[in-house]
Every structure is written in C-alpha cells, then in structure tokens.
C-alpha cells in the first residue's frame, strides 16, 4: 500500500504545483546482484563469527567446512530474495517448507547437538562460579561432532534469516547487534575471549552496518512493479529523494569498517590477556553475577518466590524465597540497658518439627499408634518454670510497631509467663515489659546445673526424642556432610561437646559456603536442607540455621530452629537513642561496655534472623549463631532484584486452600456468604500482584486502544475540514448514519443504497418524534440529495 500512498502524495503535488517530479534515475546504476552479494557477505560474516565464535570458545567439536558451506549457501539464498518480488515471496515459502521438513527429519540430532552445547556452556559456568551444580540435558547421540554440526546449521540458518531482515531489509545496526552479540557475551561474561578473527569479523559487520545505515544509502527495495531507484518522501512542502544503494559506497564502507575494527579488536584483546581476577570487581558485573549464579543453580524458576513475603519472619517456610527483600521499616522498638557485647536474640517463632521444607511449632507425633499433638504452648509452660541461676536481672520494654502480632518476642533467658502487656500503642500494637536474665558471655554455660525439667516425662521425650528427629529422605546427605566435618553421632555429648560440634559445623560453613541474600529458590521436589548441603552451598540465615539444627539432631544433639529479631551492639551504636531512664532500673549489674545508659533502638526487618537453639542440660535451649558472615559486599541495589519479584507469586506453590480460613455458617447462611467472600478476599490476597498488574495493564491497553482510535478519527476529520475535503467528510457522516440505523435495527439490508438508508432514517425520525418531546427536524430529501451529489459526482 505504500506505493499507493506515494502515488497519492505525489499526484497531489501535481495538482497543487502543476508539476510532478517523476522517477529519478541514475545513469551509472549499481548492479543489483552485486549489491545483494555484498549484503550476503555481511550476513555470512555475522552469522559465522557468532556461531563459530561461540562453539570454538567453548571448544565444542563441529565440522567447520560444513558450517561454512551451509552458511554461504544460506546467506546467498536469503540475500537473493531481494532480487525480485516474486523471488521474495516464493523464497520464504520454499525456505519454510524445506526448513520444516529438515527439522522433522533431523530433530533428534539437532536437539542432541543443542543439548551438548548447553551442557558444555553450563559446565564452564559452574566451574567459573565454583558451583556444584550439574546440568543433565539429555544427549541422544554420543557423536557430538555430528550433532553439534547439525544443530549449528539449523541455528545458523535461522540466524541468517533474521540477519537478512536487519541487514538486507532495514540495515539496522542495533538490531544486528542484539541478534548476534548476546551469544558472544555468553563467553565474554566468564572471561572466555573468542578468537580475535571472530571479534574482528563481528566488529567489521557492526561498523559497516552502522555506516550504511546512517549514510542512508543502503536500502534495497525488493524489485517489483512499484519499486524506485530513489526512495522518496515528503514533509510539508519539502520533497526528499534518496538514492538507495551504491556498490562503491558499500566497498568504501567496508574499507573504513575494516580500518576501524582491526586495531580496535587488537587493542582490546592485548589488554584482556593480562591476568585478571576471576570474578571482576566492578559494580554492574557483581550484580549480574548474582543473577547468573541463581540461574545456573536453579534455572529460571530460581528467580521466582514461592510466596510474596520475603522480609521479616518467614514463620518456618523454607525454599520458596529466591532472595530476601527487607523493606527497612521499623518492626520493633526496644528500650533496654546494653550491658555486654553479646547480640540479643528476640525469639518469636520456634521450629520444632521439620517436614517438607517447613518448620512447625506444633506438630503431631505417632505415639504407639496414636497421633499425639505436641503444642508449643505446652512446652513453653514447662520451660517457663526453669530458674536461671546465672546472669543479672534485666528489664526490656518492647513495642511492636510493625512486626507480626502472632508472636511475642522476647530475649533469652526469660519466663514467658512474666511478660507483661504494658499497654497498647496508638496503632493498637502491644507494648511489653519483659524481665530477663541476659547472658554476658559463653563462659556462663560452663557450670553444670541439674536439669529438673528433664524429670518431666513429656518434656524429656520432647527434648530427647522429638528434638532429635530429622527427615529420612536426606539421611545420606547428612551423614556424608558429617563425615566431611569429622563428627560422629553420640547419645552422650556433654554441654561443652555439644557447643563444640555446633562450632565445627559453623567452621565447615565458613570454609565451604557463601552467605548471600539471593541464593535462589530451592527447585521443586527437592528438600531445602538437602539441596543446601549437597549442591547450593550458599544461602542466608534460614539455610544455615535449618541445616545446622538437622545436622545437630543427626549427631544426637537436641536442637531447635528459631526465628525472630537480633539486636547487635553495632545497631545500638548506629541508631540507639539514650533515654532518661535510670540504668539501674533496667539492669541490676554493671555494664562491661562503654554505654551506661538506657537506650531505645528501632529494629527494622533487615534484623529479622534465624538461628539455632541447642539444648544444654541445666540451661535449656540456648541460642547459637549458625550463619556465617558475608564475604562479599551485599549492599547491591535491591531494586534490581525486585524486578524478578514481579513474576513471583505466579507459582504460589506454598499456598494451600486449606491454609485459608474455613467459613462457618449459621442458620441463615449469611455467615457462610461472608465467609465465602472472606475466602475470596483471602484467596485473591494471596494472588500475586502480578495478576492484578496484568489485568490493570490489559484494561489500560484496551482503553488506550479505544482512545487512540478516537484520536485518529478526530485528527482525520480535522484534516478533512482543513483541506475542505467535502467528499470524505460527507462519506464519514453518511457511514455514521448508516451504522446508527443498523444498530437501531432500522436497516437490515447488507449493501444498502442511499434510498434504503433514507427510508430507514425517515422511519427512525418518525419513531423518535413520537417518543420524545423535542423532535428531530431534518429535511431528509435535501440531505440525501446532497449526499448523493457529493459522493457520486
């Protein structure tokens, strides 16, 4: 339709200016075939350097000669479709047919070759990042030389088809780079530099395409009835004619591109050969490294969170979080008297049983064939009777600002029955006064006390049986890990030995694992702890704490998993505010730190933490820090990671309809209705924001489409009016009237004549005037006479 528009525009020129510049021609025309071959040459270089560059860099075996011949044939074939319009259409049809048949015939070989390449690249990436992951894409044929060649041919031909569009058709450098460079970047990312010939080749193509694009002498319209030697367009009263393509300009461009490419590539390569650290230190690369590591270990689903909440307490849910994203809003405000260097742990959640990547406080055990419920409140009731013969008395005022109110947060060592609810703050959140016995140092665990709580049969069973349970499906992994650490199971570890075992596990983490807030989510059907210990080797507090608890249990040491908040002394230094309270009101002893004042400190969700509790006889469950410090600068831009979280929640694999409140009904059934609505709300609440965003975008797109359509119509009418284009204006009104008559069912004929429309309109006016007070006064005879005069004159 472009030539029709062109004809219209230029014919308009003839009517306006009484002059028309026809087809401008060049006496020294460049040969179309030569131009096509030159473009095909560019396409071949780009495709070959991309494919062969990638394969050679990763040392994947393939037949070079076959690839070269196939790519040359493909490049020339696709280049030639621009010779003539008939060839253009038939060429693509023939190619589609042949490609389809070939794929059907060589599907297995191509797939095998593709898997071979991916497996090789994957292994290189795993080696580079020191990851233990192994990809096992199945290769149906062993002969990689053959299968990779087949795969490379298919891939290369497809690449040539795309390059033909970006080079022969549009001559667009950006599209050409986007199609080819990412494959080379796969190698460059892990410091594998392709051969300089490939880099020069690609650089040469990019430079040539860029120069040809900006010089505007590169387009070659498909030859047909209405193609022009000079492309032309008009803007207001200015007319432009551009010569399409010239052979000498092409050759000159190639020389310029070669002159630029060769020294550029040589200079880059010579510096790149120097020794560099394996993982570059610059900021952008560091951040992309995290994404790449997650992808290698867990695939694309590694970026998806199984549930949306990732800051604060996870309430024992493990594995669904690919990365932690705190919002840094204050969750708790604590007023206390710092007295030692130990971190204060405010426990909220206690994980007793681990099952299917989930820690639960309450659990069911099978006791001689009977299902017995074990509830945390019962255990706490027993633990609250413990007396702490160590430490001084301390007081803490804890205000829940934004944390979950499902938990009561308290430090060690406290009688939870003595936690007093002081009052509710302005947001109706509780403020507690807590009396506790702070541990000043680990040496306070040395005296041996009699553990009277173990005399309780239930509690004894809880500690020495239930708190030793570990999942059977990862026993092998646990044993092999303990072998590596050099620990053995025993029923008679002393308190000191228990702590020593815990420290050894910590040391093992320290030497072999990495801390990261973005480890990637656990793959489906894999155990969280088993995956962490065997393959992942990186994670945050929940990983380290959970795994250590299970390892300790495997050793025969009772342990629990805890979640809550931590108050390190550094936080007090950062944002602690001194209050006017008396120190002695908050701590009965003397402080061993510099601060001798009562401090109020705000704790945000970045201080939410998970740790281990180890049972020490006489002391009960004492906290133990299992998480290793971060070795990298983790202060990267979390906003970048938030992008991936947009897609989280699509897979709500940890959401279960049973988790939602079940409705109760009354006689009227109303409650049931409300409960049903509650269910809907609860369910839609769990549906990720992505669904809402998607629907909003869809509605927005529809509205925009309608608005744009309306706008285009208005603009058209404005142009008609400006140009006094009576015909189009009248036609528009006539079509509008016809459509209205159809809508109102006054007109049912398929192709109505003006007479039919007039009749329908008359009938409409009659009916309208009967029903409405204000009648329509239209002389339909005159109106339609005018319509006919304009439309058919």
Partner 1 sequence: MKILIQTVFLYLIILVAFIALSIIYNQPALLIFIFAFILLIPVSVIIFSKICNSFEFHLSSTAPSVETDNDVNFLFSYENKSVLPLFTANVIFHAENRYFPNNAKQTLSIPLSSRKNQFRIPITTSEIGLVTLKIEKIIIHDYMCIVKKEYFPHLELSVPVIPPKGIERDIPAITPQDGLDEFEESEYKGNVSSDVKEIREYRPGDRLQRVHWKLSAKLDDLFVKEMAHTSSLSIVILPELDKENINNTIKTLISCIDTLNQREDRFELCAFNNNTFEFTYFSINGEDTLIEALTFLYCQPLYEGKDIALSTYEASVNKPTTIIHIVGNRISLGETSI
The residue within the footprint of partner 1, chosen from 63, 172, 195, 215 (CB under 8 A), is 215
Strands 238-243 and 577-578: unpaired
Range 256-295, binding partner 1 (CB under 8 A): 256, 260, 263-264, 267-268, 270-272, 280-285
Q: Which is nearer to partner 1, 18 or 774 (CB)?
A: 18
Q: Which is nearer to partner 1, 272 or 441 (CB)?
A: 272
Cite the beta strand spans of 132-187 per DSSP E.
Answer: none
Cβ(55)–Cβ(262) below 8 Å: no
Examine residue 182 and tell whether it contacts partner 1 (CB under 8 A). no
Cα 313 from Cα 346, distance rounded (Å): 12
Task: Convert 580-601 to b/e letters by CB count within 10 Å (16 or more is b).
Answer: ebebeebbeeeeeeebebbbbb
Q: Which stretch binds partner 1 (CB under 8 A): 238-246, 313-321, 431-439, 727-735?
A: 238-246
C-alpha closest to that of 325 among 638, 14, 622, 575: 638
Cβ contacts of 763-768, under 8 Å, gap ≥ 24: none
CB of 239 to partner 1, least distance (A): 5
Residue at token pair 């932690």: 324
Examine residue 242 and tell whether it contacts partner 1 (CB under 8 A). yes
Cα 191 from Cα 272, distance rounded (Å): 9
Contacts of 750 (CB under 8 A, 6+ apart): none
Q: Which is nearer to partner 1, 252 or 786 (CB)?
A: 252
The residue within the footprint of partner 1, chosen from 3, 8, 23, 137 (CB under 8 A), is 23
C-alpha closest to that of 176 among 155, 154, 160: 160
Q: Which two tokens stand for residue 629?
A: 């410090």
Range 657-676, binding partner 1 (CB under 8 A): none
Cβ(296)–Cβ(129) below 8 Å: yes
Q: Which is nearer to partner 1, 259 or 739 (CB)?
A: 259
Q: Which is nearer to partner 1, 235 or 745 (CB)?
A: 235
CB of 264 to partner 1, least distance (A): 5
Cβ(43)–Cβ(70) below 8 Å: no
Q: Which is nearer to partner 1, 21 or 702 (CB)?
A: 21
CB of 156 to partner 1, least distance (A): 29
Would you put residue 230 in left (φ > 0), alpha (ψ -120 to 50) or beta?
A: beta
CB of 244 to partner 1, least distance (A): 10
Q: Which stretch binds partner 1 (CB under 8 A): 160-168, 245-253, 470-478, 516-524?
A: 245-253
CB of 488 to partner 1, least distance (A): 49
Examine residue 237 and tell whether it contacts partner 1 (CB under 8 A). yes
Q: Which is nearer to partner 1, 246 or 548 (CB)?
A: 246
Q: Which is nearer to partner 1, 269 or 650 (CB)?
A: 269
Q: Which is nearer to partner 1, 247 or 469 (CB)?
A: 247
Q: Which is nearer to partner 1, 273 or 779 (CB)?
A: 273
Residue at token pair 């109303």: 670
Q: Which stretch binds partner 1 (CB under 8 A): 24-32, 91-99, 153-161, 671-679?
A: 24-32
- In 3-state terms, what secondary structure has residue 436? strand
CB of 234 to partner 1, least distance (A): 9
Q: Which is nearer to partner 1, 284 or 578 (CB)?
A: 284
Q: Which stretch binds partner 1 (CB under 8 A): 231-239, 521-529, 620-628, 704-712?
A: 231-239
The residue within the footprint of partner 1, chosen from 241, 341, 643, 707 (CB under 8 A), is 241
CB of 230 to partner 1, least distance (A): 7
Q: Which two tokens stand for residue 437?
A: 């016995």
Cα 688 from Cα 424, distance rounded (Å): 32
CB of 219 to partner 1, least distance (A): 12
Q: Which is nearer to partner 1, 26 or 473 (CB)?
A: 26
The residue within the footprint of partner 1, chosen from 246, 383, 535, 548 (CB under 8 A), is 246
Type and span of the H or E element at 423: strand 420-424
The residue within the footprint of partner 1, chosen from 92, 106, 170, 239 (CB under 8 A), is 239
Q: Which is nearer to partner 1, 249 or 401 (CB)?
A: 249
Cα 610 from Cα 564, distance rounded (Å): 6
Q: Which is nearer to partner 1, 270 or 596 (CB)?
A: 270
The residue within the footprint of partner 1, chosen from 252, 328, 683, 710 (CB under 8 A), is 252
Q: Which is nearer to partner 1, 249 or 358 (CB)?
A: 249
Q: Which stretch binds partner 1 (CB under 8 A): 240-248, 582-590, 625-633, 655-663?
A: 240-248
Q: Which stretch binds partner 1 (CB under 8 A): 107-115, 125-133, 211-219, 653-661?
A: 211-219
Cβ(760)–Cβ(748) below 8 Å: no
CB of 283 to partner 1, least distance (A): 7
CA atoms within 13 A on the CB side of 369: 0
- In 3-state terms, what secondary structure has residue 360? strand
CA atoms within 13 A on the CB side of 446: 5
CA angle 391, 395, 401 (to 5 degrees): 135
Task: Convert 485-523 to b/e letters by CB count within 10 Å (16 or more is b).
Answer: bebeeeeebebeebbebbebbbebbeeebbbbbbbbbbb
Q: Which two tokens stand for residue 133?
A: 């992951």
Q: Which stretch binds partner 1 (CB under 8 A): 99-107, 114-122, 246-254, 383-391?
A: 246-254
Range 1-20, binding partner 1 (CB under 8 A): 13-14, 16-20
DSSP 8-state symbol, 636? -
The residue within the footprint of partner 1, chosen from 4, 25, 443, 667 (CB under 8 A), is 25
Q: Which is nearer to partner 1, 104 or 271 (CB)?
A: 271
Type and span of the H or E element at 391: none
CB of 196 to partner 1, least distance (A): 13
Q: Which stretch binds partner 1 (CB under 8 A): 109-117, 255-263, 701-709, 768-776?
A: 255-263
Number of residues engaging partner 1 in binding (CB under 8 A): 47
Cα 46 from Cα 198, distance rounded (Å): 9
Q: Which is nearer to partner 1, 207 or 453 (CB)?
A: 207
What's the 3-state SS for 652-690? CCCCCHHHCCCCCCCCCCHHHHHHHHHHHHHHHHHCCHH
CB of 238 to partner 1, least distance (A): 5
Cα 489 from Cα 298, distance rounded (Å): 32
Q: Which two tokens stand for residue 353?
A: 């049983």
CA atoms within 13 A on the CB side of 392: 16
Cα 105 from Cα 672, distance rounded (Å): 60
Task: Convert 315-340 to b/e letters by CB count within 10 Å (16 or more is b).
Answer: bbbbbbbbbbbbeeeebbbbbbbbbb
Range 26-65, binding partner 1 (CB under 8 A): 26-28
Query: Cα Rg for the chain, rounded, in angstroms?
Result: 38
CB of 323 to partner 1, least distance (A): 24
Examine residue 525 and tell whether it contacts partner 1 (CB under 8 A). no
Q: Which two tokens stand for residue 618?
A: 């006489």
CB of 12 to partner 1, least distance (A): 11
Interface residues with partner 1 (CB under 8 A) are: 13-14, 16-28, 214-217, 230, 237-243, 246-249, 252, 256, 260, 263-264, 267-268, 270-272, 280-285
């Amino acid at each position: 339709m472009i030539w029709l528009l062109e004809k219209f525009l230029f014919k308009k020129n003839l009517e306006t200016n009484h002059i028309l510049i026809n087809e401008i021609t060049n006496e020294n025309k460049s040969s179309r075939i030569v131009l096509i071959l030159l473009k095909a040459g560019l396409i071949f270089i780009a495709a070959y350097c991309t494919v062969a560059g990638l394969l050679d860099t990763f040392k994947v075996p393939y037949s070079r000669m076959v690839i070269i011949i196939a790519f040359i044939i493909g490049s020339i074939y696709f280049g030639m479709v621009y010779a003539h319009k008939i060839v253009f259409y038939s060429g693509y049809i023939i190619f589609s047919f042949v490609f389809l048949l070939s794929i059907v015939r060589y599907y297995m070989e191509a797939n095998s070759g593709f898997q071979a390449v991916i497996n090789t690249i994957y292994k290189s990436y795993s080696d580079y990042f020191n990851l233990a992951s192994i990809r096992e894409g199945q290769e149906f044929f062993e002969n990689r030389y053959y299968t990779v060649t087949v795969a490379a041919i298919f891939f290369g031909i497809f690449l040539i088809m795309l390059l033909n569009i970006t080079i022969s058709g549009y001559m667009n450098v950006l599209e050409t780079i986007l199609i080819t460079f990412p494959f080379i970047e796969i190698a460059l990312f892990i410091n594998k530099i392709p051969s300089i010939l490939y880099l020069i080749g690609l650089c040469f193509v990019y430079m040539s395409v860029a120069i040809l694009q900006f010089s505007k002498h590169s387009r070659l319209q498909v030859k047909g009835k209405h193609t022009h030697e000079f492309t032309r367009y008009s803007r207001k009263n200015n007319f432009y004619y551009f010569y399409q393509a010239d052979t000498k300009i092409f050759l000159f461009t190639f020389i310029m591109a070669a002159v630029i490419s060769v020294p550029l590539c040589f200079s880059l390569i010579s510096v790149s050969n120097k020794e560099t650290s394996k993982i570059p230190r610059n900021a952008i690369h560091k951040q992309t490294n995290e994404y790449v590591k997650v992808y290698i270990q867990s695939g694309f689903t590694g970026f998806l969170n199984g549930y949306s909440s990732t800051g604060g307490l996870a309430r024992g849910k493990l594995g669904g979080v690919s990365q932690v994203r705190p919002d840094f809003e204050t969750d708790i405000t604590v007023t206390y008297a710092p007295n030692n260097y130990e971190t204060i742990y405010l426990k909220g959640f206690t994980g007793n049983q681990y099952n299917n990547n989930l820690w639960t406080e309450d659990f069911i055990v099978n006791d001689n064939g009977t299902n017995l419920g074990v509830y945390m409140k019962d255990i706490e009731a027993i633990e609250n009777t413990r007396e702490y013969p160590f430490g001084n008395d301390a007081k803490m005022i804890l205000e829940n600002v934004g944390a979950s109110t499902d938990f009561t947060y308290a430090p060690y060592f406290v009688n939870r029955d003595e936690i007093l609810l002081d009052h509710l703050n302005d947001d109706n959140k509780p403020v507690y006064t807590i009396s506790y016995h702070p541990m000043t140092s680990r040496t306070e665990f040395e005296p041996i006390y009699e553990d009277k709580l173990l005399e309780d049969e239930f509690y004894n069973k809880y500690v020495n049986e239930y708190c030793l349970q570990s999942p059977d499906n990862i026993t092998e992994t646990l044993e092999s890990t303990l072998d590596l650490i050099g620990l053995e199971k025993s029923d008679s570890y002393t308190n000191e030995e228990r702590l020593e075992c815990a420290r050894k596990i910590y040391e093992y983490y320290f030497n072999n694992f990495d801390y990261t807030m973005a480890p990637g989510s656990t793959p489906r059907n894999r155990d969280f702890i088993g995956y962490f210990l065997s393959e992942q080797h990186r994670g945050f507090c929940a990983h380290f704490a959970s795994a250590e608890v299970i390892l300790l249990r495997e050793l025969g040491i009772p342990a629990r998993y805890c979640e809550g908040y931590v108050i390190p002394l550094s936080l007090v230094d950062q944002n602690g505010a001194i209050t006017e309270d008396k120190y002695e009101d908050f701590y009965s002893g003397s402080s061993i730190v510099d601060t001798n004042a009562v401090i109020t400190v705000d704790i945000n969700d970045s201080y939410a933490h998970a740790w281990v509790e180890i049972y020490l006889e006489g002391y009960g469950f004492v906290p133990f820090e299992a998480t290793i410090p971060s070795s990298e600068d983790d202060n990267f831009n979390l906003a970048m990671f938030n992008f991936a979280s947009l897609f989280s929640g699509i897979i709500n694999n940890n959401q279960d309809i049973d988790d939602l409140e079940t409705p109760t009904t009354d006689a009227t059934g109303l409650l049931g209705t409300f409960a049903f609505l509650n269910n809907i709300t609860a369910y839609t609440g769990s549906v990720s924001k992505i669904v809402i965003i998607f629907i909003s975008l869809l509605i927005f797109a529809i509205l925009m489409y309608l608005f744009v359509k309306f706008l285009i119509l208005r603009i058209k009418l404005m142009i008609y009016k400006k140009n006094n284009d009576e015909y189009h204006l009248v036609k528009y009104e006539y079509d509008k009237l016809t459509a209205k008559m159809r809508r109102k069912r006054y007109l049912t004929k398929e192709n109505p004549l003006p007479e039919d429309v007039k009749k329908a309109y008359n009938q409409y006016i009659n009916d309208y005037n009967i029903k409405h007070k204000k009648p329509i006064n239209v002389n339909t005879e005159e109106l339609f006479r005018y319509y006919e005069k304009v439309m058919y004159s």
